Amino acid sequence: MHPSAMKNGEAFFDTYSPNFTDVASPKVIDIGAQDVNGSLRRVCPTNFEYVGLDFQDAEGVDIVLDDPYALPLADESIDIAISSSCFEHSEMFWLVFLEVLRVLKPLGLFYLNAPSAGSFHRYPVDCWRFYPDSGNALVSWGRRNNYPVVLLESFTQLGGRWHDHVSVFLKDDNFKNNFPRRIIDTKTDFENGQTSQSNTILHKKKLSQSDRKLDAIAAIGAGKLRVD
């Protein structure tokens, strides 16, 4: 797990875990939990019950999935689902998303972190990158399948190689007022941020970070940008 993914996962728990103080030992599942240079188990609050799921038997995995698109969990049994640096490796991540919604309680949250850039890296395949409207698209997919899901917030991380896309979903839109805080309320190193509280795109950028870097390199080559 790269450093920005770990940092954003920690920010998620710092922001949203206080909403579960009335729950005895909130249950967290981590989809794609094998420890590759770290996992979000390290930043999960110690009073939460963390369960790591993956389709490989590896360090950090508590339950090995026979079918990555069928979670062996009861309906509405989970308080928080998290997945970091995993959905890009899922051939049909939209099916995983529906399984997450099925097992979440109505006040349950899903934290998703997936790259919008970065190199080709197979675990065991590398299929997708996620962009500013990816979270909204997943909401549309969930609602098409009769889940009243809402996107609480999303943003693209500034810096690094991967330019993480982060989305936080709430299973049932009727409870969105129970979650007044957002990661980007205090975060500054992001772009194209959105929240359920406003239609405004925060720190809006049309060009991707990679495009802006290429333009800067081209400007240097053309002698239009001075570098001291």
> What pLDDT does residue 60 have?
87
Q: Band of the pLDDT at 38, cuts 50, 70, 90?
A: confident
> What pLDDT does residue 147 have?
98
> What pLDDT does residue 2 have?
86
> What pLDDT does residue 223 have?
73
* Range 3-221 has CATH code 3.40.50.150: yes
How far is the C-alpha of 26 from the C-alpha of 24, rounded, in Å? 6
The arithmetic mean of pLDDT across residues 51-65, rounded, is 93
Task: Show me where the domains of the chain are located.
Answer: 3-221
- Say which amino acid occupies 155: F
The pLDDT tens digits for 127-152 are 999 999 999 999 999 999 999 999 99
The pLDDT tens digits for 161-190 are 999 999 999 999 999 999 999 999 999 999
The pLDDT tens digits for 66-123 are 999 999 999 999 999 999 999 999 999 999 999 999 999 999 999 999 999 988 988 7
| Residue in 52, 7, 164, 179 with CA at minimum distance from that of residue 108 | 179
Q: Band of the pLDDT at 225, cuts 50, 70, 90?
A: low
Contacts of 118 (CB under 8 A, 6+ apart): 129, 161, 162, 163
Identify whether the C-beta of residue 4 lies closer than 8 Å to the C-beta of residue 83. no
Percent of the chain at pLDDT exceeding 70:
98
- Say which amino acid occupies 63: I
Identify whether the C-beta of residue 157 lies closer than 8 Å to the C-beta of residue 8. yes
pTM for the model: 0.94
Residue 36 has pLDDT above 90, yes or no: no
Mean pLDDT of the chain: 94
> What pLDDT does residue 226 have?
55
Residue 224 has pLDDT above 70, yes or no: no
Residue 227 has pLDDT above 60, yes or no: no
